Amino acid sequence: MESLYSKQQGQHRLVINNREKVDITGVVHVDSFDDEEVVLETEQGLLAIRGEELRIAQLNLEKGELSLEGMVLETAYADDKRLRERGRGFLGRLFK
């Protein structure tokens, strides 16, 4: 089932393999990154990935591709791109 939001936006895919490798397409911008949290803007909205020992294995913004390695504990989406301005405060509440 295709949502109204996906009809208006570009393509995006999130694949998590064994909670240790993440491949993402439709990446527009990486907002913040450290070894416990990655926050990025995708064609489908903001995406936050929380985990342990996260590291970017590959990043190609021209193609909109990102690969992460590390232990994935949580993922969360936010549709409203304006929420990026609130940064970690909003995403922190999502992960409580």
CATH number where 34 lies: 2.60.40.2000
pLDDT top residue among 87 and 72: 72
In which domain, by residue range, is 52 found?
4-94
| Of 86, 74, 70, 69, nearest in space to 32 by CA | 86
What is the reported pTM? 0.76
The pLDDT tens digits for 47-77 are 999 999 999 999 999 999 999 999 999 999 9
Q: Are strands 65-78 and 37-42 parallel, antiparallel or unpaired?
A: unpaired
Q: Chain-wide mean pLDDT for the chain? A: 84
pLDDT tops 50 at residue 1? no
State residue 53's pLDDT score.
98
Q: How many domains does the chain have?
A: 1
Residue type, 9: Q
DSSP secondary structure code for residue 90 in this structure: H
| Of 16, 10, 5, 34, nearest in space to 72 by CA | 16
Q: Which residues of 14-31 are buried (b: 16+ CB within 10 A; e: fewer)?
A: beeeeeeebebbbbbeeb
The pLDDT tens digits for 4-46 are 444 456 899 999 999 999 999 999 999 999 999 999 999 999 9
